[in-house]
Structure 1
Amino acid sequence: MSSEEKLMSQKKPAFPVTNQLNNYLIEHSRNIKIPIFYDDLLRFQGSIVVYDKNDEDTLWVRTYYSEFERQEIDLSLKKVYTILHSNGNDDTIPYLNVDAIDYCTFGNSKPFRVKIRNVLNDNYTYFYVKKTDASRIYGLELEHILSPYNLNFLVYKDTLIEEHIAGIPGDDFIKDFLPKCTESEKAQIAKEFVKFNERCMIRLLGDMRSYNYVIVPTHDFDHVVYKIRAIDFDQQCFEGKFKVYYPQFFKENFPMVTLVGQKLQEASINQYKIEERSIVAKRILSSETRIQELVSCMKNDIVSTEKNVKILKQQIFDFTKDVLFKKNSSMGEILETALQFVKRNYENMRVS
């Protein structure tokens, strides 16, 4: 298992949103005017460390603002919540309370996490405020189109609003929950990791270390079904090394890889890979126009370095033997060729 230092080449910069991508976001109701920006939340007066239930540092800090600033910020965040989750109507604002505004000191995006509570019933939810990054937007859109899960997010100028994806962080699950799972549950989790691994590779989503995805348990009759969902999307089509797009090659995921080896035979692993490729191909076919629009944006965009493009197209060619990859000159073209490769193989299988 390679370490992240060997896999990841450098810290990824944030890429600006092009006019073409911005028009795509407007067309698909992703670009909506909001009353607050990321930089507004940076005006906090101080902060305190947020600890988890085991009194360990979460790498988040709880911010506090001057009384005047807080009133204005709270009202704006409540409006953002209504825009994200409803129709933007102000009627529900009196029933909302901003319980916390946390700032993350770890990672690339330095997000704010906002906790919104309904005062009538104490139900609460979260959303995140981040700086815009074209890579992350492409990643979010591809997840929305090609994965089993719909995503809700908004972009306005230099600010990105993301809904919270509920689940158990992968690193916490591996440490605290996986050892307590039954043998049948472990087999089912192994299957899901194979499918998740394949899905990330197909759509070129990188850096799925265990803290960048969540495990979602769902009770179904007399057993629990586990699903795996990505929660961080800023490493979409940036790195040159093909292995970065395989969760299996990160040392943090070694327990999951071991589980796959223990619970699944080679024939089953291949079966689950084929199943996932077929499902992704069906999504490509059912959303072909939208994907073409998104890929067109990426083809006319710069979301990586020339060096990374050259490395990745050669390594994917070595893997697929598809000469079309050698003709690619951008990450958008590589992604387009990869999706066409999956779709073509699926259609050929149906014919045969």
Structure 2
Amino acid sequence: MSQDLKISKKKPTYSISEKLDAYLSNYNRNIDLPIFYSDLLRFQGSVVVYDKNDEDTLWVRVYYNDFEREEIDRSLKQVYSSLISDGGTSILKYLSVDAIDFCTFGNSKPFRIKVRNILNDNFTHFYVKSADASRVYGLELEQMLSPYQINFLVCKDTLIEEHITGIPGDEFIKTMLPECSSAEKSQIAKEFVKFNERCLIRLLGDMRSYNYVFVPTHDFDHVNFKIRAIDFDQQSFEGNLKIYRPQFFKENNKMVALVREKIQNESIDQYKIEERSIVAKRMISYHSRLNKLLDCMEADAISTPSHIERLKEDIYNYTMDLNFRKSKNMGEILKNALDFVKRNYEDVSLKRFQ
């Protein structure tokens, strides 16, 4: 049953280790940047950004003095070229930085950059954040273990992330879900079950409704909806296992009710098995890269001793696998969780991991 779970109010920022930095360089995630997160903090002032209903979005639009703004714009356009294209300068003359917004809510306090192509007025966003090892691990795991590709770059203490398009979960649940057909609701319920299982397997926490999006795909005469995470700050940090299961957040109560209404228990078990099998297949495909990332995590400190002790005990109580009790850190806990899924997949006798 959904409940009001307690999450650490202020998760510490974990710096990028030398080993993780070498890993990122090996897979072309590292890049020399012309501007850093700290540079953007030197804004002169800001105004509140409101949505179409005149409600505070918790973002503010920042502005800089004229001299700095010219240099910042040029640097941000270069960052955009590196993230989206080949890093060349030929496209810069066609780009305009229309807005720089700063989020005052949450751990990462990101800057959101709006870049517009002046030839056709098409625009896109990307984010500039303070680099945090937890977030980087979460992004890399999303690339390998989810159905989605994700693009990001790291330079020293700065992280650049592409914008993930979709309908914010809280907005979708409030305004669009009630208007969906019965068939669409059944499909959405199925996706939530699979999303819930995927977050658990890879230990991605805090998937409250505003931390994921719904992605609609039109297929012949109907629309399919996928659920995609957009926040990776809580990768393998918290100690409470329920925090890695979206079903236990009160913000997802309507999704949990929808699952109960539309899907029988037998089908829920079937969809969980399907998702574990898909994740296991991805693990096999990314075998070498995943092992290198897990080696970095095992050598890293990305959580507190109390969280580690609680989580390994919680997972042991669900799986009765002694490997979890032997885990020394979050990296080992995650490795054992993934091994548990892969081992059962390979044995063709999946056990319940819930």
User: TM-score, normalized by length of structure 2?
Assistant: 0.97
Residue in structure 1 matched with residue 123 of structure 2 by the alignment: 124
Aligned-pair identity in percent equals: 66
Residue in structure 2 matched with residue 251 of structure 1 by the alignment: 250
Residue in structure 2 matched with residue 295 of structure 1 by the alignment: 294
Contact 2:49 2:58 in 1 (8 A): yes
Contact 1:237 1:331 in 2 (8 A): yes
Residue in structure 1 matched with residue 80 of structure 2 by the alignment: 81
Measure the CA separation in 2 of the matches of 1:116 and 1:270: 44
Letter in 2 for 1:158: D
For 1:251-330, list aligned pairs within 5 A. 251-330=250-329
Alpha-carbon deviation of 1:11? 2.3
Letter in 1 for 2:108: S
Alpha-carbon deviation of 1:3? 4.2
Residue in structure 1 matched with residue 332 of structure 2 by the alignment: 333
Measure the CA separation in 1 of the matches of 2:234 and 2:3: 17
Measure the CA separation in 2 of the matches of 1:223 and 1:200: 27
Measure the CA separation in 2 of the matches of 1:2 and 1:269: 17
Residue in structure 1 matched with residue 230 of structure 2 by the alignment: 231
Measure the CA separation in 1 of the matches of 2:268 and 2:152: 34
Asked if residue 172 in structure 1 is aligned to residue 167 in structure 2, the reply is no
Residue in structure 2 matched with residue 343 of structure 1 by the alignment: 342
Contact 1:7 1:243 in 2 (8 A): no
Measure the CA separation in 2 of the matches of 1:125 and 1:201: 31
Aligned-partner SS, 2:170: helix
Measure the CA separation in 1 of the matches of 2:65 and 2:255: 46
User: TM-score, normalized by length of structure 1?
Assistant: 0.98
Aligned-partner SS, 2:43: coil
Measure the CA separation in 2 of the matches of 1:183 and 1:190: 11
Residue in structure 1 matched with residue 110 of structure 2 by the alignment: 111
**Are residues 94 and 9 of structure 1, via their aligned partners in 2, closer, same or farther at CA, if it must alter by over 3 Å?**
closer
**Are residues 67 and 9 of structure 1, via their aligned partners in 2, closer, same or farther at CA, if it must alter by over 3 Å?**
closer
Alpha-carbon deviation of 1:83? 0.2
Per-residue CA distance 1:225-258 (angstroms, 9 max, x = gap): 1000000001000000100000000000000000
Measure the CA separation in 2 of the matches of 1:13 and 1:350: 39
Measure the CA separation in 2 of the matches of 1:284 and 1:17: 24
Measure the CA separation in 2 of the matches of 1:208 and 1:346: 26
Letter in 2 for 1:221: F
Letter in 2 for 1:99: D
**Are residues 2 and 180 of structure 1, via their aligned partners in 2, closer, same or farther at CA, if it must alter by over 3 Å?**
closer
Residue in structure 2 matched with residue 242 of structure 1 by the alignment: 241
Measure the CA separation in 2 of the matches of 1:88 and 1:291: 27
Residue in structure 1 matched with residue 60 of structure 2 by the alignment: 61
Alpha-carbon deviation of 1:7? 3.2
Measure the CA separation in 1 of the matches of 2:234 and 2:158: 18
Instruction: List gaps (5 residues or longer) in structure 2.
Output: none
Letter in 2 for 1:237: S
Letter in 1 for 2:343: R
Per-residue CA distance 1:112-137 (angstroms, 9 max, x = gap): 00000001111110000000000000
The number of aligned residues is 350
Asked if residue 95 in structure 1 is aligned to residue 94 in structure 2, the reply is yes
Letter in 1 for 2:303: S
Measure the CA separation in 2 of the matches of 1:40 and 1:18: 22
Contact 1:299 1:331 in 2 (8 A): yes
Residue in structure 2 matched with residue 203 of structure 1 by the alignment: 202
Alpha-carbon deviation of 1:10? 4.4
Contact 2:31 2:153 in 1 (8 A): yes
Letter in 2 for 1:137: V
Aligned-partner SS, 1:7: coil
Measure the CA separation in 1 of the matches of 2:3 and 2:99: 35
Instruction: List gaps (5 residues or longer) in structure 1.
Output: none
Aligned-partner SS, 1:90: coil
Measure the CA separation in 2 of the matches of 1:3 and 1:71: 48
Residue in structure 1 matched with residue 183 of structure 2 by the alignment: 184
Per-residue CA distance 1:20-56 (angstroms, 9 max, x = gap): 0000000000001110000111111111100000000
Alpha-carbon deviation of 1:209? 0.3
Residue in structure 1 matched with residue 140 of structure 2 by the alignment: 141
Structure 1 segments of 4+ aligned residues over 3 angstroms from their partners:
1-4
**Are residues 128 and 9 of structure 1, via their aligned partners in 2, closer, same or farther at CA, if it must alter by over 3 Å?**
closer
RMSD: 1.1
Contact 2:2 2:253 in 1 (8 A): no
Asked if residue 26 in structure 1 is aligned to residue 13 in structure 2, the reply is no
Residue in structure 1 matched with residue 10 of structure 2 by the alignment: 11
Measure the CA separation in 2 of the matches of 1:145 and 1:7: 29
Aligned-partner SS, 2:62: strand
Alpha-carbon deviation of 1:8? 1.7
